Structure 1
Amino acid sequence: MYNYIENPQEIERQSFKIIHSEMKNTELEPIKLSIIKRVIHTTTDFDYEDILLFKEKVEETLLNAMKKGCMIVTDTEMIKAGISKPLAKELNITMHSFVGTEEAYHMAKEKGITRSMAAVDIALDLPQDKLFVIGNAPTALYRILEKKQLNNVRGVIGVPVGFVGAKESKEALWESNIPSIISQGRKGGSTVAVAIVNALLREAVKAIEE
């Protein structure tokens, strides 16, 4: 017989205990620590302790937007699918990914741009406060940065993965005045984006329940 842990809650508890013991610095603000731990748990990559960067007070900015029921706009269906539906529902948050829509397809073809860029344009035309979550498409980050009217954008989680444009687009986002969380360099991706959002959602729900 094999000897292994079957209880999923116990597996998660022990995983986070290991993560805490192996981190170089756990003396961080609680929300930031929660986000970093969640990303490490998802990726098993302790590099994220160093390469996740947070604009000043961005955690509070994004939590406040979530507590007010902002719209979350993702650049992939995978991110949208991975975000906790029960937590989002508790906060009256709606989630959207416009990349696969016919409108994005036709707009991209007409303007000669990527569908990820077209999806940003579609989202920005909507009046609701929104949080962009970009885990795949550097062109989506660049499109956000190109736009002048971002009054209803409460923040950007910019963690696209890849070799072409990912590192540079995140650096450009970091140099902007947009409240943001980024992953330095080539690393990132949809699973990292989901981990960050779900960590924030947990903290937002906890805050309204206290």
Structure 2
Amino acid sequence: MTRTVHPIEQESFRILRARLDTSHLPPLRRAVLERVIHASADLAYATDLVADEDELRSAHAALHAGAPVVADVEMVAAGITARRAVCRLPDASACAGLTRSAHAVRLAYAEVGPGAVWVIGCAPTALEELIALDAAPALVVGMPVGFVGAAESKAHLRASGLPAVSNVSEKGGSAVAAAALNALLYTHHPVKENDR
């Protein structure tokens, strides 16, 4: 199914590319960065976003082969427009020293198992729980926002060795996390680097 792109979105990307040259980036990293900037109108993501092209390629293949997508909160799930995302937050409760978000990660992992793509845009505790679970994800989009634990949880994600998209600063949130995943879903046939 071909996605129809509205003229306003086309103009937004034209303006973005006029202000920031992304042409030197590999195709999936470029797609993710541009979609995150488009969702946030924040050009600083050009130096804040961390993503590896090989990891993005593997995740892209997994997504297009039907890997499940898990979102930490319903706002992230609602922003993922090309795929239904599992979100177990409504079923979770704070218990046994876990936040509700961390419990939701455990519930979701019990449902989807290894190989899923996880999108965390709200709760640092959800990201920390996912790292601790050893869930063997295809990719973790870890972009929680906030002054308490957000930057630290993203640093833990990058240090974990899990395939990931993250950012260095405290900023992030549901919209940018969903945008990063949407970039991979909307890109059907990424150009190989040596074909550019």
Q: Quick one: structure 1 residues 81 and 25, their matched pair in 2 at CA, closer, same or farther if it must change by over 3 Å?
A: closer
Bigger Cα Rg: 1
Verify: 1:140 aligned to 2:137, yes or no.
no
Please give the per-residue CA displacement for 1:177-208, whole angstroms capped at 9, x wherever unaligned.
100000111110000011111111011x346x
CA distance in 1, matches of 2:116, 2:149: 24
For 1:177, the equivalent position in structure 2 comes to: 161
Cα distance between partner residues in 2 of 1:68 and 1:13: 28
Amino acid aligned to 1:143: E
How far 1:10 moved relative to its partner?
A: 2.3
Deviation at 1:9, TM superposition (A): 2.5
Who is 1:122 aligned against? 107
Q: How far 1:123 sits from its partner (Å)?
A: 1.8
Give the TM-score taking structure 1 as reference length. 0.82
Alpha-carbon distance between aligned partners in 1 of 2:101 and 2:158, rounded to the nearest angstrom: 20
> In the alignment, which residue of structure 1 is the partner of 2:117?
131
The Cα shift of 1:113 comes to 1.1
Which secondary structure does the structure 2 equivalent of 1:100 belong to?
Answer: helix
1:51 to 38, 48, 51: 48
Cα drift, residue 56 of structure 1 = 5.2
Equivalent of 1:198, from 182, 187, 196?
A: 182
Displacement after TM superposition at 1:13 (Å)? 1.6
Q: CA deviation at 1:30?
A: 1.4
Where in structure 1 are there 5+ consecutive unaligned residues?
A: 1-7, 89-93
The residue aligned with 1:10 is 7
Q: Distance in 2 between matches of 1:30 and 1:206?
A: 10
* 8 A Cα contact 2:29 2:52, kept in partner: no
* TM-score normalised by the chain length of structure 2: 0.88
Any residues of structure 2 matched to 1:1-210 within 5 Å, and which? 9-55=6-52, 57-84=54-81, 87-88=82-83, 94-101=84-91, 104-105=92-93, 108-109=94-95, 111-126=96-111, 127=113, 129-148=115-134, 150-151=135-136, 153-203=137-187, 205-206=188-189
RMSD, aligned α-carbons? 1.7
Q: CA contact under 8 A between 2:26 and 2:53: conserved in structure 1?
A: no
Contact 2:99–2:125 at 8 Å: present in 1 too?
Answer: yes
Task: Say which SS state the counterpart of residue 105 (structure 2) adopts.
Answer: helix
**Greater Cα shift, 22-31 or 170-179:** 22-31
Distance 1:171 1:128, change over 3 A: closer
Q: Deviations over 1:64-107 (max 9, x none)?
A: 110111111111101111111xx32xxxxx41111111xx22xx
How many residues get paired? 185
1:41–1:146: structure 2 CA closer, same or farther, 3 Å change rule?
same
Once the two structures are overlaid, the 10-residue window that deviates more, 158-167 or 13-22, is 13-22
- AA of the residue aligned to 2:85: M
Given that residues 22 and 30 in structure 2 are in contact (C-alpha distance below 8 angstroms), is that contact kept between their aligned partners in structure 1? no
Deviates more, 1:175-184 or 1:12-21: 12-21
